[in-house]
Amino acid sequence: MKVIITGGGGFLGSRLTDEIIKRGSLVGISGRGEAVTEIVLFDIVEPPPPREGRVKVLTGDIGDLAQAYALIGPDTASVFHLGALVSGGAEANFDLGYRSNLYGTMNVLEACRRLPHRPRLIFTSSVAVYGGKLPAVVTDDTAPVPQTSYGVQKLCGEHLINDYSRKGFLDGRSMRLPAIVVRPGKPNTAASSWCSGVIREPLSGVATNCPVAPETGLPCLSPRRVMEAFIAVHEAPAEALGHNRTVLLPGLTVTAHDMVAAAERHAGNRRFGQVSWQRDPFIQNIVDGWPKALSAARAASLGIKGDDTIDEIVRGFVEDYLETQIALARAG
């Protein structure tokens, strides 16, 4: 079976590629496990060179309908639609945010609708769909009222996937992701980028600034756990999802202060970079509008688990990425 990953040049796309290669098979159009014979990574920036013969890389713009049609052909069995302009970027650039996050998603859906079969589509949404006056704990039943353009774009994507699935054009599933921590690499324009930065940079010996108050908390999920969730949501039978194809993922609520403290506990004898605390009102305002705690019963029913402690999250980063991150920091 052929699998396409939009946003395949990013961290989650790269890690998902490794996860699929390791598994070797996914549920295919037949409804049974099928060997993955080809993985296509598509991104607006050139994805890393293929690490394995089944992997191909393509550069393009998902906001271009013709490119979406060329990408998603009759041999496509599954699409993981990760490609998006991140939250801070979508809020700062209204037009580009809608082109990437709404029209790009519509293009993927239309390309899937043209196929002679119903492909399985996984869409990465976000807890940014919530906003306004929220309960202390957001649940599967909490009404989404986004307060950012990014959140609106993601919520529109969820509704479209429900409708295209209802019409039988595809077998879609949306995942509402909390902040994914710790992401390796360099900072980006996501409003949650600081969550990784206050752990990643200090452990690499690099000074960093936290743009939110120390007591600011938000739900976090580790890369290890989010990969498990990707596979679980993809493999779940359609009957387990019903008419609502959106799954809220779990997240461990952690404050900025607790993130830095956990990083310090895992520094060992490494040089620990200084963390300053200078607020950015733009970032603080976005983050303040997000949920502070999650209860994801529906995800639990699919076997999806969250992280138990922030130390577990940091330990996973140290084991999986820290040496590479230190080398990146030294290279400048």
Is there a domain that residue 188 lies in?
no
* 202 and 235 inside one domain: no
* 140 and 280 inside one domain: no
CB 199 within 8 A of CB 265: no
Is there a domain that residue 291 lies in?
yes
* CATH code of the domain in which 292 resides: 3.90.25
Omega before residue 127 within 30° of 0, cis: no
Number of domains in the chain: 2
Of 125, 177, 175, 132, residue with least CA distance to 151: 125
pLDDT at residue 199, rounded to an integer: 98
205 is in which domain, residue-wise? 193-218+252-331
Return the number of other C-beta atoms located less than 10 Å from residue 162's C-beta: 17
Is there a domain that residue 187 lies in?
no
Last residue of a domain, one of 248, 267, 294: 248
Known catalytic residues are 150
* 266 and 243 inside one domain: no
Distances, alpha carbon 49 to alpha carbons 34, 41, 72, 233, in Å = 25, 10, 21, 28
Is there a domain that residue 40 lies in?
yes
Is there a domain that residue 9 lies in?
yes
* 173 and 47 inside one domain: yes
Is there a domain that residue 26 lies in?
yes
CA distance 83 to 156: 15
Distances, alpha carbon 87 to alpha carbons 135, 186, 290, in Å = 22, 16, 12
* CATH code of the domain in which 243 resides: 3.40.50.720
* 126 and 151 inside one domain: yes
pLDDT tens-place string over residues 161-171: 999 999 999 99
Position 332 pLDDT exceeds 80: no
pLDDT tens-place string over residues 206-260: 999 999 999 999 999 999 999 999 999 999 999 999 999 999 999 999 999 999 9
* 160 and 203 inside one domain: no
* 161 and 16 inside one domain: yes
Task: Provide CB contacts within 8 A for 291, sequence distance 6+.
Answer: 127, 130, 134, 137, 138, 142, 178, 218, 219
Q: In 40-125, which ranges are continuous DSSP H helix?
A: 65-71, 87-92, 94-98, 104-113
CB 218 within 8 A of CB 287: yes
The model's pTM: 0.95
Average pLDDT over residues 20-27: 97
pLDDT at residue 190, rounded to an integer: 87
Is there a domain that residue 185 lies in?
no
Is there a domain that residue 29 lies in?
yes
Within its chain, how far is the Cα of 37 from the centroid? 24
